[in-house]
Amino acid sequence: MSSESRDGDDPGTFARTMYDDYEAYREPSLNHRRFKHDDIMPLVKKFGEHPDIDLIHEGESAEGRDIYRLKMGSGDTSVLLWSQMHGNEPTATMALFDLFHFFTADDVHNDLRSEILENITIHAIPMLNPDGAQRYQRRTAFGIDMNRDALQLQSPGSQILKRVRDDLDADFGFNLHDQSIRYSAGDTPNSTIIAFLAPAYDEERSINPVRERSMKLIARLDEMLQDFIPGHVATFSDTFEPRAFGDNIQKWGTSTILVESGGMKGDPEKQYIRKLNYLLLLESFRSIAGTTYESHTVEQYEDIPPNRFRLHSAIFRNVTMPFKEHEFELDLAVNRSEVNINGATDFYKRGTISEVGDLSTFDGYEEFDASGLRVDSGKVYPDTFATEDDLAAVDPVSLMRDGYTAVRVEELPEGRHTDFPLNLIGPRGRQPAGPKMGRVANLALYRGDEVAYVVINGFVVDVMEPVPDVGNALIFR
């Protein structure tokens, strides 16, 4: 690349340019995580018709959904990418379509495109587990974890991945996943937004030239990402898993880079993390094409902090918990997880008490100093309402200020969750409450006789805030 090129040689400058220009390439029809095979097939077909892209039908999932490979470029170095072998890990799939937009555009970045596509050949298999994506679940339709199937090869997706890897004898492999949003980068409160791994290919976690290339490239990507998400990059555990694809593909001679999209406050649908995936993959292509990753070191890779499982949705510090004639001072954590609804096209949240005790080695996405506050069960409002419509007359905040977290309703609406900010309880239902590990988190925290916070289905409400934000409450029949 010429030194006066707008795209520059320095990864920082390059990334900033591509970051600023990203919107032009973003695939607009994918804008939340629960898209399905039906949503991406028109995109696969459309890009497959582009003269610079070859579309190869690789096979079908167990339920007959087509799996395709898209091939671009003519370089000697082959780069294989596969996404969503776990059906509920879709972030990188979105980024792959953004990259197809980038590579099929005709604009100021033409030199960069040529530079990449003359030196490498890109093979991308988006959504390797479409049956899992349909259900928004990790496993295949018949219930196995495809990433423990690299040796038995029972799943059609596994067979495709193994065959394509072997046919290409790919030089580089990108194993694209999402990880729990509860990891942090090292022993810090920073959520891991992106985790990388150069998977081990043996129990001893040896480093051969194949794995060393993965490590060096990851070191470069980490350096680039620090400009955007400083302190939020980690490495995934490198414990050897003999049945996993990453470990085996590394062993079979393809330099493998595991990318895990994690969690970021304020980005529940991971659209910013998708953009980071786009950036890091583009920089990977550029760096592989120019072998610039060679200037990085294994030591730089090893300096990236490890993933630590230490995040909860919220933690109350130093809360007072009465128990019989005692009072204990402790930390209390809640965690909200997603429950699929409407054919796994949508979800609601369910929040439980995820830990009680000394949580000094944990952090919350939200942190509350509860010194001097006493925790108790959320209360059920004594009056019964005939229908959900009658709740229009209720001021939920004034009920919360009195420590109520639920109301009784004679005729409950369908389903298990409600957008009304308090839990709904049927005539024979009971609200789970109390600060017990594992229980749905419905609590009130008192300063003296005054309520300071209520916790409703794990959502924390400061009752003095003018508009409390409760994502959703639950229905108990």
Which position's Cβ is nearest Zn ion?
Answer: 177
In sequence order, which ranges of 140-294 are alpha helices (DSSP H)? Answer: 156-168, 209-225, 245-251, 271-290
By beta-carbon proximity to Zn ion, the closer residue of 65 and 86 is 86
| Closest separation in Å from C-beta 143 to Zn ion | 16
**What is the phi/psi pair of residue 338, to 5°?**
-95, 140
By beta-carbon proximity to Zn ion, the closer residue of 86 and 310 is 86
By beta-carbon proximity to Zn ion, the closer residue of 147 and 405 is 147
By beta-carbon proximity to Zn ion, the closer residue of 227 and 338 is 338
The CA–CA distances, whole Å, from 396 to 369, 391, 447, 457 equal: 24, 9, 20, 15
* Active site residues per annotation: 241
**Which helix or strand (DSSP H or E) is residue 100 part of?**
helix 91-104
In sequence order, which ranges of 105-237 are alpha helices (DSSP H)? Answer: 110-119, 130-135, 156-168, 209-225
By beta-carbon proximity to Zn ion, the closer residue of 67 and 451 is 67
33 touching Zn ion, by CB under 5 A: no
Torsion-angle region of residue 292: left (phi > 0), alpha (psi -120 to 50) or beta? alpha
Q: 17: buried, middle or exposed (CB in 10 Å: 19+, 13-18, 0-12)?
A: middle
Binding residues for Zn ion restricted to 66-125, rule: CB under 5 A: 86, 89
By beta-carbon proximity to Zn ion, the closer residue of 146 and 221 is 146
| Closest to 67 (Cα-Cα) out of 47, 37, 31 | 37
Neighbours of 377 (CB within 10 A): 17
Binding residues for Zn ion restricted to 176-215, rule: CB under 5 A: 177
Q: Is 323 helix (H, G, I), strand (E, B) or coil?
A: strand
**Which helix or strand (DSSP H or E) is residue 290 part of?**
helix 271-290
Contacts of 348 (CB under 8 A, 6+ apart): 338, 339, 341, 416, 417, 471, 472
The Cα angle at residue 41 between residues 38 and 47, in degrees rounded to 5: 155
- If you search the block for the tokens 């709740």, which residue do you land on? 391
Number of residues this chain uses to bind Zn ion (CB under 5 A): 3
Q: Is 144 helix (H, G, I), strand (E, B) or coil?
A: coil
Window 150-179: contact mask with Zn ion (x via CB under 5 A) = ---------------------------x--
| CA-based end-to-end distance of the chain | 66
| Closest separation in Å from C-beta 11 to Zn ion | 26
The site for Zn ion (CB under 5 A) is made up of 86, 89, 177
